[in-house]
């Protein structure tokens, strides 16, 4: 099944360059992320650790090994997974709702994931296991995505849709806050985590529970790339050319929900990444989702890894929540976008 239009040479080159640049940037940021932090780690330490883990050298293990292996690597990888998941989720949401302002946080899906995670922990007696939290977050996010689909059918104005999502999101955040603050249990991450995110708690165990959700969600969204393209025509227009929108859209939203659930379970509420990433990538590589979705994954991963490095180092030894930085950096982009849209539509 191929689109009867082939990419032009220029388009193909542009996309290949973008993919290469993003992949190299992400890799470089992962290395920088491993090297930066309170305990000084040199590139040589990194190489020796790699050699040791591959059995190439017999040098005795050092302190830096455990810092790298037990703390930094799961954290950097979590940042990448969270960013990738949010980037893909944003691309999926913007495509599904034909609304370039759609973002997991703005349309209430991230808050629903947080609420789901907390309810999940509260309902399970032995609660607190990362997997329980991820399942709760996934269920909450999927439910919110499907609910927003019903709401989108009733509202025509795209701004109204965002406002409804924002209001529902704030309500869910309030409920979440009420539970977290009233319960005050060490089993539940702090309210700050649910509002501004944070990757300080990343371990191999949280990563192993959350990453499969994000990965599954990304695969579902990426596999729907063609449908997302056709949905750009409008929902009824897509139906007229044979797209079963009542099956395709819920499927995409389930994918988005799984990705957001995993991302929120791992990193809490990190806003604006799902919004900015697809917006920037669309300008770079165009709107075709078979490129937009995977490149949003790479770019989102790079952004969150980079922001997490800032979060750890800018005010060291104090750590700034990642979501706080993404909001500080992302909100102006959002405002710029709103103003630009406002100008071009008049």
Residues within the interface to other proteins (CB under 8 A): 1-6, 98, 229-230, 232-234, 236-237, 239-244, 282, 286-288
Closer to other proteins by Cβ: residue 51 or 246: 246
Residue 296 near residue 83 (C-beta atoms within 8 A)? no
Closer to other proteins by Cβ: residue 240 or 328: 240
Residue 93 near residue 144 (C-beta atoms within 8 A)? no
Closer to other proteins by Cβ: residue 4 or 60: 4
Residues 141, 228: Cα–Cα separation, whole Å: 20
Closer to other proteins by Cβ: residue 80 or 285: 285
CA 243 to chain centre: 27
Q: Which residues contact 239 (CB under 8 A, 6 or more apart)?
A: 245
CB of 145 to other proteins, least distance (A): 21
Q: Which residues contact 126 (CB under 8 A, 6 or more apart)?
A: none
Q: Which residues contact 105 (CB under 8 A, 6 or more apart)?
A: 111, 169, 269, 271, 272, 274, 275
Closer to other proteins by Cβ: residue 234 or 332: 234
Residues 59, 142: Cα–Cα separation, whole Å: 48
Residue 173 near residue 245 (C-beta atoms within 8 A)? no
3-class SS shares of the chain: helix, strand, coil, % to 5? 75, 0, 25
CB of 285 to other proteins, least distance (A): 11
CB of 236 to other proteins, least distance (A): 6
Q: Which two tokens stand for residue 147?
A: 């609910």
CB of 326 to other proteins, least distance (A): 24
Residues 138, 109: Cα–Cα separation, whole Å: 10
Closer to other proteins by Cβ: residue 235 or 308: 235
Q: Which residues contact 143 (CB under 8 A, 6 or more apart)?
A: 112, 116, 257
CB of 156 to other proteins, least distance (A): 12
CB of 242 to other proteins, least distance (A): 3
CB of 243 to other proteins, least distance (A): 7
Closer to other proteins by Cβ: residue 275 or 327: 275
Residues counted in the chain: 346
């Amino acid at each position: 099944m191929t689109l009867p239009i082939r990419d032009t040479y220029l388009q193909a080159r542009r996309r290949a360059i973008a993919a290469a640049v993003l992949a190299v940037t992400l890799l470089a940021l992962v290395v920088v992320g491993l090297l930066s932090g309170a305990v000084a780690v040199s590139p040589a330490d990194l190489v020796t650790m790699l050699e040791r883990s591959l059995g190439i050298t017999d040098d005795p293990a050092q302190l830096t090994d455990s810092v790298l292996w037990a703390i930094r690597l799961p954290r950097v990888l979590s940042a990448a997974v969270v960013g990738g998941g949010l980037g893909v989720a944003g691309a999926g949401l913007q495509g599904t709702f034909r609304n370039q302002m759609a973002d997991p946080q703005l349309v209430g899906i991230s808050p629903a994931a947080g609420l789901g995670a907390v309810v999940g922990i509260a309902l399970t007696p032995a609660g607190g296991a990362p997997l329980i939290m991820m399942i709760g977050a996934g269920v909450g996010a999927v439910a919110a995505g499907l609910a927003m689909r019903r709401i989108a059918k009733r509202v025509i104005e795209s701004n109204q849709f965002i406002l409804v999502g924002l209001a529902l999101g704030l309500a869910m955040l309030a409920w979440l806050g009420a539970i977290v603050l009233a319960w005050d249990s060490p089993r539940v991450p702090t309210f700050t985590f649910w509002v501004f995110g944070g990757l300080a708690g990343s371990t191999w165990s949280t990563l192993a529970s959350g990453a499969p959700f994000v990965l599954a969600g990304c695969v579902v969204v990426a596999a729907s790339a063609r449908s997302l393209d056709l949905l750009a025509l409008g929902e009824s227009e897509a139906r007229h050319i044979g797209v079963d929108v009542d099956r395709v859209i819920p499927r995409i939203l389930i994918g988005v929900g799984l990705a957001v659930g995993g991302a929120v379970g791992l990193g809490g509420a990190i806003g604006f990444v799902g919004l900015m990433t697809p917006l920037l990538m669309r300008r770079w590589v165009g709107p075709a989702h078979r490129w937009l979705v995977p490149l949003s994954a790479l770019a989102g991963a790079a952004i969150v890894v980079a922001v997490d490095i800032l979060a750890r180092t800018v005010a060291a030894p104090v750590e700034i929540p990642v979501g706080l930085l993404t909001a500080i950096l992302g909100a102006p982009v959002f405002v710029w976008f709103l103003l630009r849209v406002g100008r071009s539509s008049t």
